[in-house]
Homo-oligomer: A and B are copies of this chain.
């Protein structure tokens, strides 16, 4: 049976990526050696990480003056690295609080200095994106989370600021065009649109580093990794390799402008189904709805058992909502074909007819 993988992350990646990754575990580049048994300093692996960096630059049109890094520790490690590298001694930062990930980022920043919450949607269980808040010009930086997997909201227009702008794009990077020049630091755990769990992408404007007056441990200092092209120590070879393959797939198919259209089609189909339904309703504010993660509920919870059964029988995987929202969450990352959303929508419509 064809599986439709709506998992929130780690998540679906292209089938051709799985095939090539599987083959490279046995015999990489016809070396008669596995990808994961060769030195990370070998020419064969150095070519992988260099291609990965190049693909990030191409796909996102990264301007000169920025470095592209592949690190470890996920967005959670970036929460503290960002503050450690950008918050001046005695300085302050401003955060937009749009959900669980923002809140965790705020917690780490507080260890390093005055951390102000400029706006929050906590009052309505993070079901919307705050707008029209002020960003003071004396902040060391402003931080926001572009897409909130748990709550199904997404920033559609980033605020214009005159301070450094940092964005956690873990769950929507590569899903749509972004203007990298408007940001000073972007980070993203790989395990959504980029690759498998185990590496973190960082895009950082070089000139913003080194101005805090702080002593930073070697591994937490972005300058360490810039100086060594992400090879200060042994990098996570396999996650970087699979990320590179996924970006190759994206480029071959038309890049970010192509996938942006596909992602819009998928999201529109699902949200229209929800909005036209008398038994389902969306849980996020309509104008802030995420194209990546659609959160919705059954208005009559007695239908849940039947819906869950129909999903299982239809090969729909990973649809359970996060405990803090309940209901359902359909994650429709880049590698998910329209066909999978169609399969889900058919089941939703069938339940509507029955119910």
Contact = CB atoms under 8 A, between A and B. Distances in A.
B73 A36 contact: no
Given A22-B26, A72-B77, A234-B74, A33 B10 contact: no
A269 B168 CA distance: 53
A76 interface: yes
Interface in A128-157: none
A38 to B, nearest CB: 6
Nearest to A318: B39
Nearest to A189: B234
A111 B189 CA distance: 28
A8 to B, nearest CB: 7
A200 B10 CA distance: 20
A239 to B, nearest CB: 6
A305 interface: no
Interface in A104-124: 104, 107-108, 111
A9 interface: yes
A89 to B, nearest CB: 15
B39 A10 contact: yes
Contacts of A104: 218
Interface of A: 1, 3, 5, 7-13, 18-19, 21-23, 25-26, 31-34, 36-40, 72-77, 79-80, 104, 107-108, 111, 189, 191, 196-199, 215, 217-220, 232-239, 242, 317-318
Q: Which 8 A-B pairs have the closest CB atoms?
A: A198-B236, A36-B196, A22-B25, A72-B72, A76-B233, A80-B217, A197-B234, A197-B237
